[in-house]
Structure 1
Amino acid sequence: MSDSGATSPKTPDDLQLRSVEKEELASSGDGDSGFFELPVVEDTNKNKQGKRPDWLRVKLPQGKEFKKVRSIIDEHDLHTVCESANCPNMGECWSAGTATFMILGNICTRSCGFCAIKTGRPQDGLDWDEPRRVAEAADLMGVQHAVVTSVNRDERKDGGAPIFADTINRLHELGCTVEVLTPDFRGIREACQTVFDARPDIFNHNMETVPRLYRRVRPQADYQRSLDVLQWAKEDGLRTKSGIMVGLGEDPEEVLELMDDFVEIGLDVMTIGQYMQPTKMHLPVEDWVEPETFAWYKEVGEAKGIEHVESSPLTRSSYHAEKHV
């Protein structure tokens, strides 16, 4: 891997954790309590990761189809992960008339160090009309393959799984193929099974990074638990998919070991993309991984037995998703 002209990358010593009092997440009345907010990473040494390389520069979203999609999404009061996560492919995907719908609101109960989605305590219950609005918007957009993801709703025992299931069913009624990108549902098998039973065409749950970095990158998640969720989906007969980001400080050998774990559980599709710091309050970029390394990851992963590896600097979970069915 190469710094590609970057100055010395940040180390954990360059970051300061702002202390916050532990505060229980508000219970929705039909879920569990006992979840706590975590410290927020503050950037005390700005711009140390250096200039973003040219291969990560993208054109601003524009065009008639892009404007049409945005209008439909706004009209139906929907959220897209494209916007909430500042996806670099938003212009390309929206201009093609596709989008990834984010259900269960736009406030997440977890505080992952890489994610631009707002963290907090959702004040409302589930929006049971949301699946209808998603399906109506998808129909107006004319999508053939829909991707549905969500925030974490850890204040609920079901994690919002019934909304996933209803959304899948309504999209299937339109003739769409459906990929879901779900949380880990805290490893509650019953919640996962609710989604499995709706038979999405692809079940995606992202591992995000290698085990060594979990405490820093996904502090409220567990590597083995995420692997278990993917294995349960595979055992239930679903096509499975997962993705990671690189540039967070992982070693190539660790990525290959993670691939071995994927092969062991029979994963069908893997995505690998460059981590890009969404704001100065998020984890810094440790390395700008060069395109040649992404090509190598693809070659090695498929040689190991993963059917399809989508790997490039701008790859995100939903990128070229229609090709993964």
Structure 2
Amino acid sequence: MVVKPEWLRVKAPQWERVGSVKDILRDLGLNTVCEEASCPNIGECFNNGTATFLIMGPACTRACPYCDIDFEKKPQPLDSAEPERLAEAVRRMQLNHVVVTSVNRDDLPDGGATQFDRCIHAIRAASPGTTIEVLIPDLCGNWDALATILKAAPEVLNHNIETISRLYRHVRPQGSYARSLELLQRTRDLAPWVYTKTGVMVGLSETDEEIKQVMRDLRAVDCDILTIGQYLQPSQKHLGVVDFVRPEQFDAWRAYGESLGFLQVVASPLTRSSYHAEQVRSLMERHPRERGNQLEAVKRQESEVSY
């Protein structure tokens, strides 16, 4: 049995507040990635009244060997009422910032982009002051689907690259390192006002130079925000942890990322893609971007950008 080092210990949450959030989720029939993916920060985030909502789930069409989301269940048809229930949860929780993610839905022609669009619009209507971050899959490289999501004008588009190029076939066999980079590049080209974000997990044999290369690749596509956290094995059937990275190494990667020009680098053993995501609001105040008429801009650039 692998013993976690002291720096990976998580403080016990105040379960009264956690229970309140769970009650809202159960009442509205919603899923969170916090629960489905066994996130170690669930107590802290629920205690703070935040959650990363998981739409179109919880059954995933991919079987990534590091992820605890169920891929054995059969994906269900989209729920037309889900966007409104999600918006109601955001309203009840009085969220300033919300993160909406999904399982991979490779069974859908647009990978679920239309459902993301509906959710964004529903949240805007119910909570106009809430900033919206979407954490999306790679959509199998369907760039029309990406444009559908961007037309709804989320403030942040997050897509996790997850690991280094060398490990992609081992860690993300149905994904593509190049495709994930291209998604972030196309987002920048189509919607320059959107803050782009991605995440990397470590502890699967990466070298310091390989992590730095990922960071350079991400800056080459003008990615704004990067999260780096320790991979933890959800169960014995998942990929094993090769090494536990010490906190000082995360500090070094943060400093290197900032030197490359990332607007924000969040790096620590317990960092996850949506951990303290609400801090992006202060980042947006420090680095404001003019959004203008988002829909018309996307339509115009769709016709101009070709690859």
Counterpart selection for 1:120 from 65, 72, 81: 72
The answer for unaligned runs of 5 or more in structure 2 is: 282-307
Q: Distance in 2 between matches of 1:120 and 1:206?
A: 22
Residue 87 (1) aligns with residue 39 (2): yes
TM-aligned CA deviation for residue 55 of structure 1? 0.8
Mapped partners of 2:134, 2:24: distance in 1: 21
Residue of structure 2 aligned with 1:178, choices 132, 157, 160 = 132
What's 2:241 paired with?
285
Number of residue pairs the alignment of both structures matches: 277
Residue 242 of structure 1 corresponds to which residue in structure 2?
198
Cα distance, 1:151 vs. partner?
A: 0.2
- Partner SS state of residue 139, structure 1: helix
Please give the secondary structure, in 2, of the residue aligned with 1:273.
Answer: strand
1:105 is matched with 57
TM-superposed CA distance for 1:277, in Å, is: 0.2
1:256 and 2:209 aligned: no
Q: Is the 8 A contact 2:61 2:75 kept in 1?
A: no
CA RMSD of aligned residues (A): 1.0
Q: TM-score scaled to structure 1, two decimals?
A: 0.83
Question: Quick check: 2:258–2:265 contact (8 Å CA) kept in 1?
Answer: yes
> How many angstroms apart in 1 are the aligned matches of 2:52 and 2:108?
23
Match of 1:226 in 2: 180
Contact 2:157–2:197, Cα closer than 8 Å, also in 1: yes
Q: Which of 94, 97, 106 pairs up with 1:145?
A: 97
TM-score (norm 2): 0.88
Does the 8 Å contact 1:168/1:200 carry over to 2? yes
SS of equivalent to 2:168:
helix
Q: Secondary structure at the match of 1:272?
A: strand
Which aligned pairs between 1:3-152 and structure 2 lie closer than 5 A?
Answer: 47=1, 50-120=2-72, 122-152=74-104
Q: Distance in 2 between matches of 1:123 and 1:111?
A: 13
Indicate conservation of the 8 Å contact 2:59/2:75, yes or no.
no
SS at match of 1:178: strand
3-state SS in 2 of match to 1:216: helix
Q: Relative to structure 2, which stretch is displaced further, 113-122 or 286-295?
A: 113-122
Structure 1 runs (4+) deviating above 6 angstroms are none
How far off its partner does 1:156 sit?
1.1
Partner of 1:25: none
- CA–CA distance in 2 between the matches of 1:221 and 1:243? 15
SS in 1 for 2:119: helix
Which of 121, 139, 151 aligns to 1:197? It is 151
Report how far residue 282 of structure 1 moved.
0.3
Match of 1:214 in 2: 168
Alignment match, 1:29: none
Task: State how far apart, in whole Å, the 1-side matches of 2:14 and 2:210 are.
Answer: 38
- Name the aligned partner's letter for residue 255 of structure 2: E
1:158 maps to which of 84, 88, 110: 110
Mapped contact 1:171–1:177 kept (Cα < 8 A)? no
**Any conservation in 1 of the 2:60–2:75 contact (CA below 8 Å)?**
no
Deviation at 1:123, TM superposition (A): 4.5
CA contact (8 A) 1:262 1:306 kept: no
Deviation digits for residues 117-161 of structure 1 (CA, Å, limit 9, x no counterpart)? 000363521111111110111111111110000000001111111
After TM superposition, give the deviation of residue 57 of structure 1 in Å. 1.0
Opposite residue 250 of structure 1, the aligned amino acid is E
Q: Which fold has the larger relative contact order, with Cα–Cα distance below 8 Å and residues 6 or more apart in sequence? A: 1
Determine the C-alpha separation between the residues in 1 that align with 2:32 and 2:217: 30
- Offset at residue 64 of structure 1 (A): 2.5
Structure 1 residues not aligned, in runs of 5+: 1-46
Question: Does the residue aligned with 1:118 lie in a helix, a strand or coil?
Answer: coil
Query: Equivalents in 2 of 1:91, 1:124: separation in Å?
Result: 29
User: Aligned to 2:18, what secondary structure does the other structure show?
Assistant: helix
- Percent identity of equivalent pairs: 48
Q: 8 Å contact 2:33–2:54 — kept in the other structure?
A: yes
Residues 96, 131 of structure 2: 8 Å contact kept: yes
